[in-house]
Structure 1
Amino acid sequence: MNSTTDRARIARQRTPLNRSQIVGFWGAWAGWTLDGMDSFIYALVLTPALTELLPRSGYAATPGNVGLAGSILFALFLVGWGLSFIWGPLADRFGRTKVLAGTIFTFAIFTGLAATSHNVWELGIYRFIAGVGIGGEWALAGTYVAESWPEDRRKMGAGYLQTGYYAGFFLAAALNYTVGVHFGWRAMFLTGAVPVVIAILVLLRVKESEKWQKAEAGSAPKKPLREILGPAYRRRTWVACALLTIAIIGLWAGAVYEPSAVIQLATRAGMAKGDAIKTASLATGLLSIATILGCLALPPLAERIGRKKTLAIYFVGMAVSIAGAFGWAFYLPNGLAPFIAWLFVLGFFGGNFALFSLWLPEQFETRVRATAFAFCTSFGRFVGAGVNFLLGAAVLHMHTLGVPVALTAIAFVIGLFIIPFAPETKGEVLPQ
């Protein structure tokens, strides 16, 4: 029997998804998509928003002040992300779908309110609270899909789910290309209020996973955070925290500064301001498409060679592409095209986040899974907030964003030495 026939036979043998699993996945995917759109809106409207709000706050809108204020506000946003670990214990106690809807509602409302900002302080507060909501969505969506999909499908389900976040990047870029260019940054933030509808649908239409219901009927721990930091889980919890921290530092440094870098390169190439903004939106769209491809390629690779080797490959790709884009192409006399080409590579290997959607649920039992997922992702965001602040200071001090961002590639090299300490879960079923 040839390989094509074998693959078709295996595909036919996969467990079919029922209506609840399909609706639940699309609810989680839509929330994750709008989460990605919401979080990336800020990167796209950073310069015009701060150019308007800084003078109203008593500061000159110089490039240096815009860069520093942008980094401080993004650091606040990441601190909000870090505080999102509160959603994990709530989800382990009250269920995945209710708390998932709560995260979507929170980030949607406060993103919409950001459109009403009169100064940088108000914008910072709104982005901080939106960050608390956005930060919880990934942990709860990833946990829900892992628990609700059948064992033979949940690995690809993780890859499919992760594409939503970067589809959100693409959606944000498309909105910026149309709404942002014509109606400004306030209109962009208003579009972030749309996910309220998704939150209501999730709450009304999506059922809890059977695994959570069984765990809830059993002996769920009263203090899941204490358990994941206890002897049974301590090592894997801290190793996962370290690896997620590295992924967050590198990808967010590249993604947040990518639009500004493209605008600078486009302006240097002689483009008008409007054309430069459109070019940044197109580049962001390309980055998003590449990351979606990276997410889809990851689960089959992880099933073939294992979780740890797959993450190592993606980390090497991130290190090389960040250094190539920001350390080399950004400084070329005609660097716009090479920089965008490197962005595609960076985007593909940025799909490493799909591995965590697949891998983290495999490392923890159902009764503590959401808490563990939320804690590990939140820890990385706290550290990422500090690194982002230092990065902004470095950009201000060095009067360039290329070298400081390029140096974040070092984090991925460090990650290669941490990966061996993580558990290999290839071939194992999701623990109950």
Structure 2
Amino acid sequence: MGQRRPREAAEAQEDETSPATSVSQHGGAALNGSRDRTADHGAGGHRAAILASFLGWTLDAFDFFLVVFALTAIAQEFHTSDAAIALSITLTLAFRPVGALLFGLLADRYGRRLPLMIDLVFYSVVEVLSGLAPGYRSFLALRALFGIGMGGEWGVGASLAMEKAPTRLRGVLSGLLQEGYAAGYLLAALCYFLVFPRFGWRPMFFVGGLPALLALYVRANVRESEVWERTRHGSWAELARAIAANWRLFCYLTLLMATLNAVSHGTQDMYPTFLQRDWGFAPSGRAALTALSMVGAIVGGIVFGLGSDRVGRRAAMIAAFFGGLALVPVWAFAPSLVLLVCGAVAMQFMVQGAWGVIPAHISELSPDGVRGFLPGFAYQCGVLLASLLVYLEALFAARTSYATSMAMTAAAVFVLAAVVTGLGPERRGVVFGGKRFE
């Protein structure tokens, strides 16, 4: 490994002595302080691993958003209300931590590859069965099971992809991986417009069974993480001790992910209602503008991910948060349709720009021995902590206006996320597994 330049050495010293870095670094393999921005961890087939993880998260999001698009049609067939079907979305979100817990533990005990394949097949089967659900109760049960599969995919896929990715490209590949979520939304919208008018909602869920084929690709083309092979735990007891030793890091990551989820849900979930109530948009117009904003999201994730490889993870995320904060007036109080569209696209460019850094950032913060479990479980626990935000935002909107409620919420969560990010540790460029791959 080459000698550090003075600036890099200063950055490393700052990170290693910051009070926020006092989180436990024991268990499995310790966090390595060494940095090498040219080491290639992906020598063992990193392209296939990154592609598989990206497609897994894309198809996961695709399956999730099918319910969002077809909600009214499902409610009509089951002779129930939209709110009753919306409960299935809540159940999916509520069961995501269960999946992150189960599949994360399996990933740290038995490797990243096998749990990822099992998860892909599991949620694909559940998705097809959702299209065959005979009634409302069975549909709810299946969507809860889907939440387990959805929660399991991100942590396992992200750990595999980041451990395989070349260190110098970890940030930009992180952005590409995370924006699989936005890509999944776009695919779900496309499926809705192409399939639903001709065949109804059930065949849409049959299309959602495609991730099972991705499991075959993983089996044929993706090799196990060399980092896991070198740092694997010999027993469940050893893994449990490693997780317990990092409880403070887990608490910080959960708080960080809660603020990130507050940023995304605070700027996205009420936006279609805002377009309807304040601007009079028809359903097709709301879907079109939301889809357009997701294009901005994909670009933002990649741009800020790339930037984080140069300026640091925290700096890139904080820049995105303050960029979003500056856009709040034009985003919420646009005086014209043109500025409304520009504000929507630019806002998601910033929001998902910050999110694009997350896979690399929290993977680097997590010790080798618990990387399959810790990031994914903290992510999903953060989802739960932020889940009440939309309800509070709606209550505030009822007393003021949607524009005012969204603007105040967005401003608050952007500042909070910037503070939590800035006070936390950073391990940009840390070498996974203790030494570079040859």
- Shared fold (TM-score, shorter chain, > 0.5): yes
Q: Percent identity?
A: 23
Structure-2 residue corresponding to 1:381: 383
Which amino acid counterpart does residue 236 of structure 1 have in structure 2?
L
Alpha-carbon distance in 1 for matches of 2:294, 2:261: 16
Deviation at 1:194, TM superposition (A): 1.6
Aligned match of 1:303 in 306, 309, 321?
A: 309
Which amino acid counterpart does residue 148 of structure 2 have in structure 1?
V
Contact 1:71 1:388 in 2 (8 A): no
Alignment gaps of 5+ in structure 2? 1-37
Structure-2 residue corresponding to 1:285: 291
Alpha-carbon distance in 2 for matches of 1:27, 1:162: 13
Matched, 1:30 2:46: no
Shift in CA distance, 284/179, structure 1 to aligned 2, threshold 3 Å = farther
Structure-2 residue corresponding to 1:368: 370
Deviation at 1:214, TM superposition (A): 1.2
Contact 1:317 1:345 in 2 (8 A): no
Contact 1:81 1:131 in 2 (8 A): yes
Structure-1 residue corresponding to 2:18: none
Indicate the SS of the match to 1:74: helix
Matched, 1:211 2:227: yes
Aligned match of 2:91 in 52, 69, 76?
A: 76
Alpha-carbon distance in 2 for matches of 1:371, 1:429: 19
TM-score (norm 1): 0.80
Matched, 1:20 2:22: no
Greater CA drift, 14-23 or 125-134: 14-23
1:9-408 → structure 2 map (5 Å cutoff): 20-53=45-78, 56-57=79-80, 61=81, 66=82, 68-69=83-84, 72-84=87-99, 85-216=101-232, 222=237, 224=239, 226-230=241-245, 233-262=246-275, 268=280, 276-319=282-325, 321=327, 325=331, 327-329=332-334, 337-349=338-350, 350-388=352-390, 394=395, 405-408=406-409
Indicate the SS of the match to 2:426: coil
Greater CA drift, 156-165 or 166-175: 156-165
Which amino acid counterpart does residue 170 of structure 2 have in structure 1?
R
Alpha-carbon distance in 1 for matches of 2:241, 2:405: 37
Q: CA RMSD in A?
A: 3.1
Which amino acid counterpart does residue 328 of structure 1 have in structure 2?
F
Alpha-carbon distance in 2 for matches of 1:43, 1:71: 8
Which amino acid counterpart does residue 46 of structure 2 have in structure 1?
Q
Which amino acid counterpart does residue 179 of structure 1 have in structure 2?
V
Which amino acid counterpart does residue 242 of structure 1 have in structure 2?
L
Alpha-carbon distance in 2 for matches of 1:261, 1:46: 19
Structure-2 residue corresponding to 1:9: none
Which amino acid counterpart does residue 225 of structure 2 have in structure 1?
S
Structure-1 residue corresponding to 2:421: 419
Corresponding pairs, count: 394
Deviation at 1:215, TM superposition (A): 1.4
TM-score (norm 2): 0.79
Greater CA drift, 296-305 or 177-186: 177-186
